[in-house]
Amino acid sequence: MEELRLNGINKIKDGRFLKNYELNYTNKKGKPKVYEMVSYKDIKDVSEIGNGVGGAVVVAIKDGKLLLLKEFRMALNRFVYNMVAGRRESGESIEDCVKREMYEESGLKVVNIRKTLRPAYAAAALSDVQNQLVICDVSGEISDHTEDDELIFAGFYDKNEVRRLLDEEPFTARAQFVAYAFSCGFFDEEKT
């Protein structure tokens, strides 16, 4: 059986947040090829690809309702429904990242972390970024603490409201699945 072989990596652009790379590889027929990817990290060698957790994605529940963000995403030129998420800062634990991002994007306080899942790749077709899904309970009132370049409207939704949003509104893929699971009762306290 023939296999793919990754031969090298070259940085082609160093952006503010993302770095663009070309991966040189040999395809299963033995032909040299080039694949493009992005990463948060400064990668020097192919052995460094896919290592390290970039941040958190948060499933937040309060009084049986799911927190969703309606946020403007520049790359889409539209609003989409998403969850609280963000990059982990240097030296920050995943729990501290969750608490900071929750406050920054919604003004809410994390009161109980139910579960932290293993790291998972956010967009495996184009990036080596890994995030951890964290399920938690939150308290407080929604308030805006976002940066000037963010336009985010946080809200709590019950199962029926989430079903309606799933039928009518655009979502990110991860938020769509979480919203669907929530609407089916997956995050009910006795089940998690």
Which pLDDT tens digits describe the chain residue by residue (192 residues)?
478 889 999 999 999 889 999 999 999 999 999 999 999 899 999 999 988 888 999 999 999 999 999 999 999 999 999 999 999 998 999 999 999 999 999 999 999 999 999 999 999 999 999 999 999 999 999 998 988 999 999 999 999 999 999 999 999 999 999 999 999 999 997 554
Domain, as residue range, for 28: 5-48
Answer yes or no: do 73 and 122 share one domain: yes
- Residue 102 belongs to a domain with what CATH number? 3.90.79.10
pTM here? Answer: 0.90
54: closest CA among 94, 10, 103, 82? Answer: 94
Answer yes or no: do 153 and 70 share one domain: yes
Q: Which residue has the tokens 């395809």?
A: 27
Q: How many domains does the chain have?
A: 2
The pLDDT assigned to 191 comes to 55
**Rounded to the nearest 10 degrees, how much is the dihedral formed by the CA atoms of 123, 124, 130, 136?**
50
Answer yes or no: do 176 and 102 share one domain: yes
Answer yes or no: do 34 and 81 share one domain: no
The pLDDT assigned to 190 comes to 56
Answer yes or no: do 9 and 91 share one domain: no
The pLDDT assigned to 52 comes to 80
